[in-house]
Structure 1
Amino acid sequence: MAVMVHSRGSGWSPELYQATFDRAIPDTANPPAGLLAHFATPAGNGEWQVIDVWDSEEAFRHFLEKTVLPVAKELGAPPFDSAAFEIYNYLIP
């Protein structure tokens, strides 16, 4: 079942997000297995947020644990919270 994942954390800058993204997904033509869409934006008050759509929560958790968290740790990134929600409906015009 497809899920939308909302991740949010304080202390992230555009530069830190981009460095993490570039190391976690070095070739955007070859995205991680299960990733369907990715959006990132400042959330105000020094926070950063990412909205992803994955084909399953398992695919997201695998990428998070095996790739994103190690990269974020190497870069000294602050912690962030992620919540997955089963997608009820979507429209891609």
Structure 2
Amino acid sequence: MAVLVYNRSSEWTQEIYQALHDRVLPDPENPPAGLLAHIASPDERGGWRVVDVWESEADYQRFVEDKIAPAARELGAPPFDTHISEIYYHLIP
């Protein structure tokens, strides 16, 4: 089942996001298996947020373990809060 993944950190900046993005998604034409949508923006409360739609939570967790976590450690990126919920309905034209 598809899931919505909401990541947020008051300590993240556009520069931190971009550095991580450049490492884990270097080619937007070749997204990781299971990624359906990816949106990043500043958070109105400060910091940064990233919202994804994945085909499954397992696809997301695999990407975190294989790509995001190692790259974040390498960058010394601050932690972020993650919330995952099943999607009832989505339309991505």
- TM-score, normalized by length of structure 2? 0.93
- Residue 91 of structure 2 is aligned to residue 91 of structure 1: yes
Give 1:75's aligned residue: 75
* Cα-to-partner distance string for 1:48-93 (whole Å, 9 max, x where unaligned): 1100000000000000111101101111110012111100012335
| Cα distance in structure 2, aligned partners of 1:70 and 1:51 | 20
Unaligned runs of 5+ residues in structure 2 are none
Identical pairs, percent: 56
Q: CA RMSD in A?
A: 1.1
The worse-fitting range, judged by mean Cα deviation, of 5-14 and 42-51 is 42-51
| Cα distance in structure 1, aligned partners of 2:54 and 2:91 | 15
The worse-fitting range, judged by mean Cα deviation, of 31-40 and 80-89 is 80-89
| Cα distance in structure 1, aligned partners of 2:46 and 2:23 | 22
Runs of 4+ in structure 1 displaced over 4 angstroms? none
| Cα distance in structure 1, aligned partners of 2:10 and 2:92 | 30
How many equivalent residue pairs?
Answer: 93
Letter in 1 for 2:64: L
| Cα distance in structure 2, aligned partners of 1:83 and 1:61 | 12
The worse-fitting range, judged by mean Cα deviation, of 4-13 and 33-42 is 4-13
| Cα distance in structure 2, aligned partners of 1:90 and 1:27 | 24
| Greater share of residues in strand | 1
Conserved 8 A contact 1:10-1:78: no
* Cα-to-partner distance string for 1:19-43 (whole Å, 9 max, x where unaligned): 1001011111111000000000111
